[in-house]
Amino acid sequence: MIGVQLAAEHFGFQGPIHSLISDYIATPKAVSVPWAGFGLALIGLDNRRRAIALVAAIGIDLVFMLERVLRGGVFTFGNGPLIVLTAIAVVAAVRWTGAEKASALRGVAFGALLIVASKVAVTWLQISAITRPMVLDEYTQLADHALGNPSWAALRLMDALGPVGQAFIDWIYFELPIAAMLVAFWQLRHVGRNPFAWPTHHLVRTFMVLAIIGPVFYLIFPLVGPVFAFGADGAGFQISDSWPGGQPPFDLTPQPMLFDDFTPRNCMPSMHTAWALALFIHSRSGPWWVRLFGTVWLVGTLVATLGFGYHYGVDLLAGAALCLTVEAALRDPERGWGWFRIRLVVGGTVLFAAQLLSFRYLPVQLAEYPELGGFLLIGTVAALGCAFYATFYARPGSALAAWGGRVEVEREAELAVR
């Protein structure tokens, strides 16, 4: 966070530390992220303290909101949860003891990490625009021909949904932090009653690791997305005006293209896809309504990323490969690092690297042979998904479970019962 702040000062714009400090007393930059972080912090408290903290956060937020509106400011929220989250940290550190203190501080830490990560991400996007003037959209758009140009196809689906459907998909896309908080709260719902109930792995861990790793590739493979590179939103830098109404160009001589210095280069990989897939995976252990929630959020996110022109289809495949690789490294830590995990993590890493290299150096071949190219692009990710399923979800006693190394886990569980 300090490093990104120094970089922001070097480039002459507000960094994450300044932004975070201003959110305490000035107009918050976001509404959902502070409340999502606050929701994670409440996980470490018992029900009585949760209620007190929630009422305090709502009350403070209303006071700040009214003061802003009365002086002609913006109608928004976000001060209250940040202030109360900080108060919980101070009170827990100073007055509480033992497991009660440890549980509260762990919840606060997860909540604070989510808020801090969002601040760093905003600054990082600005840095990506300044430090990467050339973008590679011509390459990925050409590679996307092997997938049938899914961004343009999803755009037609969005048109068919109408204004109400589009508003719902848009809400799903931008409120992903709230959805993650709800699933994480369900996973960790027993923690407040039992300070020792923190599981060895949960959704927040995956979210944070993805947030650390994924954005690094924005600088390695800078893209701005179809809506900017091929649409009027490119403000004169676009290759063509084929978005949203035309056909994507089929140019077999792709070149890096100069773009503006303020549009984020945040397409490769699609972090929304990676996070939504992580949410979907972690919802699988819940009841039907949690599984349905995870499924709806994943499908809605995929439609939004493509239909609004934020991503190419290959971005989504890269995001899925990254998510499965990270989740494979973190899931079931009690099983250790046997061959079952090593082959999955190494295979996912190799696949992710191969994806980036092929999008950059083989887009012409992918576009000229779409049947083979599409099969390889989708088939390799599907194979990684099958291996992930076999390793962590296959039915006990099946051949997939044996291949995935779950036989040892079953034997250990049987011995524990005996």
What is the DSSP code (8-state) at residue 248? P
For every one of its 418 residues, what pLDDT tens digit does the chain have, with 9 covering 90 and above?
Answer: 888 889 888 888 888 998 888 888 888 888 889 999 999 999 989 889 999 999 999 999 999 999 888 888 888 888 999 999 999 999 999 999 888 898 899 999 999 999 999 999 989 999 999 999 999 999 999 999 999 999 988 988 888 888 999 999 999 999 998 999 999 989 988 776 666 678 889 999 999 999 999 999 999 999 999 999 998 888 889 988 888 878 888 889 999 999 998 999 999 999 999 999 999 999 998 899 999 999 999 999 999 999 999 999 999 999 999 999 999 999 999 988 989 999 999 999 999 999 999 999 999 999 999 999 999 999 999 999 999 999 999 888 888 888 888 765 554 444 343 4
CB 362 within 8 A of CB 370: no
Name the strand (E) or helix (H) holding 57: helix 47-70
Distances (CA, A) of 92 to 44, 109, 212: 11, 12, 28
Asked whether the CA dihedral 193, 196, 201, 204 is positive or negative, the reply is positive
Interatomic CA distance for residues 33 and 175, integer angstroms: 9
Distances (CA, A) of 365 to 249, 301, 358: 16, 29, 9
Interatomic CA distance for residues 232 and 239, integer angstroms: 10
Predicted pLDDT at 292: 96
Q: Which amino acid is residue 346, in one-letter code? A: V
Distances (CA, A) of 368 to 152, 249, 275, 373, 375: 19, 13, 32, 8, 13
Query: Residue 9 phi/psi, 5° resolution?
Result: -65, -35
Predicted pLDDT at 192: 65
CB 129 within 8 A of CB 355: no
Predicted pLDDT at 83: 95
What token pair was written down for 139? 């390459």
Predicted pLDDT at 415: 39
pTM of the predicted model over 0.95: no
Q: What is the DSSP string of 86-136?
A: HHHHHHHHHT--HHHHHHHHHHHHHHHHHHHHHHHHHHHHHHHHHH--EE-
Torsion angle defined by CA atoms of residues 139, 145, 149 and 151, in that order, rounded to the nearest 10 degrees? -20
What token pair was written down for 249? 């160009």
Interatomic CA distance for residues 191 and 171, integer angstroms: 29
CB 138 within 8 A of CB 254: yes
